[in-house]
Amino acid sequence: MTSNSSTLGLIGEVMVSLSVELGRTEMALRDVLALGEESVVPLDRLTDEPLDVLVNGKAIAKAEIVTENNRFVLRIVELVGGPRAADGTVAEAA
């Protein structure tokens, strides 16, 4: 079995946008317009819940934020979606 990176060929070089979602909330427009410095906006996620990792807006994983060399980094704790083999490659359909 070949790894994902070797089977992707040229499309493996395509740049995508990776983002992390801390949480969400809904607010009335008047409340958004009233936001200022030191405003506090509660989100729907608890502090011990893993964060959503998105690629081009599509959830691909759950992660924790940690620090390394004085920078924020992601520790992937769960992949979202299709089954994966132990080596991280996508399992082939039978």
31 within domain boundaries: yes
Is there a contact between 52 and 46 (Cβ–Cβ < 8 Å)?
no
Domain hosting residue 45, numbered range = 16-79
92 within domain boundaries: no
28 within domain boundaries: yes
45 within domain boundaries: yes
91 within domain boundaries: no
In the chain, the number of structural domains is: 1
Is there a contact between 83 and 90 (Cβ–Cβ < 8 Å)?
yes
Tokens of 14: 């395509």
CATH number for 26 = 2.30.330.10
Phi, psi of 5 (to 5 degrees): -65, -35
pLDDT in tens, 58-71: 999 999 999 999 99
pLDDT in tens, 25-84: 999 999 999 999 999 999 999 999 999 999 999 999 999 999 999 999 999 999 998 555
88 within domain boundaries: no
